[in-house]
Structure 1
Amino acid sequence: MVQATGLAVGSLILLTMMVTSGGAAEQRFSCKGQVVQEIPNPAVQPKPIDLNVTLGDNKKLSMTTGDGKMLAPRITSNNKIQLKFATKEFVGEYFHYTGDLFLIYKSGPLARLSCLRT
């Protein structure tokens, strides 16, 4: 009985260590969407926006646009609900629970993207 209890406790500790270290791993997302506000000509469909986003285990954020442009946003806030970041072109807000990413461009438009873990 004592050996079984010891084995169960050891297994629980090992499982906890695996889950804890796995939670800090790099997270990758594929995000797709478009501008949803301030479309100058409704007859012209807005260009789709594709982003590949990586949140590193050291809390560094990197983004690659669909045309290969690399961005290194500065994280301004990150909690259980929302990740906020900024670049020279826009401010971004990603919602962890829904996978929604909003880009608020300094020139005025608002873009909404849906993100999936890859």
Structure 2
Amino acid sequence: MQNTAAGPAGPRHLATLAQAQRSIEETSAMRAGPPFGIDGAAVKADDANDADGQAVGSGSRFPDGASAFKLPAAERQTVLRKAVREMGRTGVPEPVAVPEPVDIDGSTVTRAILHNPTTPQPRRHPPP
């Protein structure tokens, strides 16, 4: 049985940040291949005090010499069957989309909460 570490998305030891950037680009290009989802990559410098470690950066929300890179989200198009209102966890009704089921990175999406609908709504009043 092959695990993630032994596979194409497993850990790699690279000498420079340029090689790390190429590795992230390769990971992004092959993300549809493995039987598991890949949504990002992490880079950790062996020595946080050398030039590459300082280039990776540090801050209050991530450790010295380490950084994570989020890959662009996988997107699929589908057909909206209907939009309904359901009671949210806080007791406030929330709009929910019920699309035609669509597979995204191994998960079948059948419902989506519309927190930020981007479809323009008809105006009820003319602008001032």
TM-score, normalising length: structure 2? 0.22
Structure exhibiting the larger radius of gyration computed from Cα positions? 2
TM-score (norm 1): 0.23
Asked which structure has the greater RCO (Cα within 8 Å, sep 6+), the reply is: 1
Which protein has the bigger strand share?
1
